[in-house]
Amino acid sequence: MRAVAATAALIAIGAAGLSAAPAGAAVRHVWVAAVPVSWNIVPNGRDAIMGVRHDPSETVFGTVVYRRYSRGWKHPMRNLPPGSGDDDGMPGPLIRARVGDRIRVHFKNLDTRFDRSHSMHFHGVRYKPSSDGAYVPGFSGDDGDVKPGKTWTYRLTALPSSAGVWPYHDHSPSMHESIDGGMWGMLSIRGRHEPLPDREFVVVFAPMGRFQSIDGRAFVGNTPVFTAFPGQLVQWDVMAMGSEHHTFHVHGHRWREHGVPADTKTVGPAESFRIRWRERDPGTWLYHCHVETHMEQGMIGIYQVKRR
Amino acid sequence: MRCALLAAVAALALAPAAASAQHGDHGADPGGTTVSIAFAAFDPPFVDVLRGDRITWDNVSVRQHDVAAVDGSFNSGPLRGGAAFARAFDSAGEVAYFCTIHPFMRGTVSVHDLLLDRPAEPAVPGRPFPLHGRTALAPGTPIGIEADSGTGSYVRVASTVAQQDGTFSLLALPHISEQLRAVADGVTASPPVPLLVLDRSVAATARSARARSRVSVRVTPPGHGGTVVLQLRLRERFGWWPVARARLDRRGRARFALATPRRVRARVVLTLADGATPLAVSAPLRLGRR
């Protein structure tokens, strides 16, 4: 396929802070809770490519994830738009906004399983220290240490330098166990006049026990099966959590990095990027981390472009 | 007979599938143990706790009570309705207590070094069944699992070690119902817990119309709770893929409704509460229009 569009970065670094919200900017309210779940890393029970079976005793564990809720945390809702991945809790809600928007993330800790504090810490957007969500003994407030049953509202602003995709994750005293257990998600900030893609795929590379996961799942069929139609504008939101670097690769497609065609891009811990293209190549394709050992341990999935 | 029941409790410590699984995923009550003080009784009157655990007595009645150890080691003082008293127990052994205002109200706290979690659901003969527990012993301490098949004597069937977070886990392969206990050093034992082993079966029927299907499920014998998961055989998922989960009612029944724009094979799996560990599987069904 010839390189079509794309681009990773629409970033106007160093742009001035907003002194006032620009015309047309919105205040977006997002309701999120930390909820306990039983998570299966390999629901179909197998690595289909290598023909290896995995028993639930190896792959099921209890953890806590971010779940989107309706206003006032009344009803659980989808974390992801249809077509953006499996909607089971990893990743947390895809929080979409435009440059200039103000974002209010209302967070409630419903962790009754481990009875731990949790928080939300956001990359890429502007906020005051009281919305940092990071626990620093003697300095931070309740934003970084939301105890079970308690709530906190994080007040964020999407600056011009926020355009792109960014991680968020737990940064409370339970940060390490919680990140290992899947408490992460992404912010997706569009430019002021940038259209929504037809499909937005969220890809989070993270270790999960002895597996290497994409969105908390390992091996083809278990990782999200992304789908698109020819002619659609697709966007891949990619990030990594944990302590390792990964290389994002999609078969049969290329994009441009600083004007140069590419089909693989490196992402390190808490780094993120997005890639866009206009789809035109029907077929079933692989996407995966090209670090060989990670791929063998489950960091691989399929992308299906179907004719209408 | 010795090996009758848990012929082989696999000494497999549950794999540390994810780091967070090592941090207390064992069903323990993180909030501690609460005993209600009712109008004329402690509820429950007998409790088993781990050494170091804290018990809260909560006076939920309309009259005044107190909580006093028979050996005089503690006394809550008067507790009006709505008041509470909490105490941690740091030594293994039994502590009898009573209400000095109403001395017929009595209770006992049993403090242990090992507690084996009571299985919440029945196991299936010959299928791996996860067991979990907590210990006040040092990390790395060898812990054995013993089973009594009804002979009145316990037989060692598996072993594991205490984890850093004070938990232990392993898989059992039970064949008949049994009493289980955890032991350490050959002398310290947890109170026994019953493991019910049932050969359960799942029957599922389906009706499809206008690109929607309804699946009715019946598990026999009923009355033991349980989770059922509807799975579809999907090419892009390289096998059976869970699409919906439901709890069984008292009659062992559940229903699913789903969109089926194309014809697809389905089955229903009875699982543990994790929605993944299989206990029994239905025969395959066809969903969707022909």
Q: How far is CA A118 from CA A111, B228, B281, in A?
A: 8, 31, 38
Token reading at B15: 């794999």
pLDDT tens-place string over residues A85-114: 888 999 999 999 999 999 999 999 999 989
Fold of the CATH domain B33-112: Immunoglobulin-like (2.60.40)
Q: ω into residue B44 within 30 of 0, thus cis?
A: yes
Fold of the CATH domain A27-305: Immunoglobulin-like (2.60.40)
What's the distance, Cα to Cα, between the start and end of chain B in Å?
54
Q: Give the position of tokens 């493991």.
A: B195
Structure confidence at residue B68 (pLDDT): 97
Q: What radius of gyration, in Å, describes the C-alpha atoms of chain A? A: 19
pLDDT(A16) > 60: no
As a whole-number percent, the residues of chain A with pLDDT over 90 amount to 87
Write the CATH number of the domain with boundaries B201-287: 2.60.40.10
pLDDT tens-place string over residues A38-48: 999 999 999 99
**CA-to-CA distance for A185 and B32, rounded, in angstroms?**
32
Fold: same for B33-112 and B201-287? yes
Is B17 close to A55, i.e. CB distance below 8 A? no
Question: Can you tell me whether residue B239 is helix, strand or coil?
Answer: strand
Q: Are B6 and B147 in contact (CB under 8 A)?
A: yes
Whether the CB of B276 is below 8 Å from some CB of chain A: the reply is yes
Whether the CB of A9 is below 8 Å from some CB of chain B: the reply is no
- Chain mean pLDDT for chain A: 92
pLDDT(A55) > 90: no
The structural domains of chain A, with segments of one domain joined by +, span 27-305
Write the CATH number of the domain with boundaries B120-195: 2.60.40
**Average of pLDDT values for A234-254?**
97
- Chain B window 95-124: which residues touch A at a Cβ cutoff of 8 Å? none
Whether the CB of A290 is below 8 Å from some CB of chain B: the reply is no
CA angle A17, A68, A182 (to 5 degrees): 90
**Average of pLDDT values for A199-227?**
97
Is A114 close to B236, i.e. CB distance below 8 A? no
pLDDT tens-place string over residues B3-55: 333 333 333 333 333 333 332 232 334 457 899 999 999 999 999 999 999 99
Is B236 close to A221, i.e. CB distance below 8 A? yes
- Chain A window 182-211: which residues touch B at a Cβ cutoff of 8 Å? 208-211
Q: Are A5 and A78 in contact (CB under 8 A)?
A: no
Residue A37's closest CA among B28, B131, B240, B276?
B276
Token reading at A144: 């970084």
Is the Cα torsion angle A215, A219, A222, A224 positive or negative in sign?
A: positive
Shortest distance between the Cα of B39 and any Cα of chain A, in A, equals 30
Residue B47's closest CA among B32, B25, B62?
B32
Shortest distance between the Cα of B259 and any Cα of chain A, in A, equals 15
Question: What residues of chain B lie within 8 A of the CB of A56, using their CB?
Answer: 274, 276-278
**CA-to-CA distance for B140 and B137, rounded, in angstroms?**
9
> pLDDT class for A255, splitting at 50, 70, 90?
very high
| ipTM, interface predicted TM-score of the complex | 0.85
